[in-house]
Amino acid sequence: MNHNYQEITKSLETKGQELFGNHFKIYKEDESIIEKLIVYAIKDEKRANELNINLEKGILLSGPVGCGKTSLMTLIKHITEKEKYYVKSCRDVSFEFIQDGYEVVHKYSKGKLYQPKYNTICFDDLGTESNLKYFGNECNVMAEIILSRYDLFINKKLITHITTNLSATEIEQQYGNRVRSRMRELFNLIAYNNTSVDKRR
């Protein structure tokens, strides 16, 4: 099937204006990022092979602050052909941990979280949360969730997406080599370059 990527991109921009306001626009320099996300979302196998995108993995969308990662992942879910996904802030997950403890790790590591179709989750802004203590025990909440969801990926093909400002080295420093190693298997890395403008100006 041939897909009109320009037309899909235009419809995403229109949807973005509906969700975020008339100021929303898709920038020319971001079109290669947009194309990769669209290819993944609509499961264009031919183009995915050309771009070295594994449609069985999730997306790790990396880039500097303000480049539009959260907005894009919020938009892309509107054109996914198969599994929809739920976008959840990593900071909110950490606040839930303060309230509910280790049950939160279990909550995000098992199926049927909100609705069956939302078993796929996009954890937004990995790295903005902190290591937290629950009854005196310190926990790297997102590290534990990622490791658990890796097991679900291996055993049940459950997909996870992540957005982050962190580099690969920073991810290893904050979450450990074990997490970084598994993330290579979990995700397609789609990265903005570091010169990408802050679109919140």
CATH of the domain at 149: 3.40.50.300
For residue 51, being part of any structural domain is answered with no
For residue 121, being part of any structural domain is answered with yes
Band of residue 52 on the pLDDT scale cut at 50, 70, 90 = very high
What is the separation of C-alpha 149 from the centre of its chain, rounded to a whole number of angstroms? 13
Q: What is the pLDDT of residues 120-176, one digit of tens each?
A: 899 999 998 765 554 555 678 899 999 999 998 998 888 999 999 998 889 988 888
For residue 112, being part of any structural domain is answered with yes
For residue 41, being part of any structural domain is answered with no
Q: Which pLDDT score, from 0 to 100, does residue 100 have?
A: 84
Q: Which pLDDT score, from 0 to 100, does residue 138 have?
A: 63
For residue 81, being part of any structural domain is answered with yes
Structural domain range at position 75: 56-191
Q: What is the pLDDT of residues 86-98, one digit of tens each?
A: 899 999 998 888 8
For residue 5, being part of any structural domain is answered with no
Which whole number is the average pLDDT over 101-122? 71
Q: How far apart are CA 98 and CA 88, in angstroms?
A: 16
Q: Which pLDDT score, from 0 to 100, does residue 107 have?
A: 84
For residue 38, being part of any structural domain is answered with no
Strand-pairing partners, residue 58, are 187
Q: What mean pLDDT value characterizes the chain?
A: 85
DSSP helix/strand/coil, 189: strand
Higher pLDDT: 116 or 45? It is: 45
How many domains in the chain? 1
C-beta neighbour count of 177 within 10 angstroms: 10
Q: Nearest-CA neighbor of 134 among 101, 179, 182, 106?
A: 101
Residue 40 contacts by C-beta under 8 Å, 6 or more apart in sequence?
48, 53, 55, 59, 76, 188
For residue 34, being part of any structural domain is answered with no
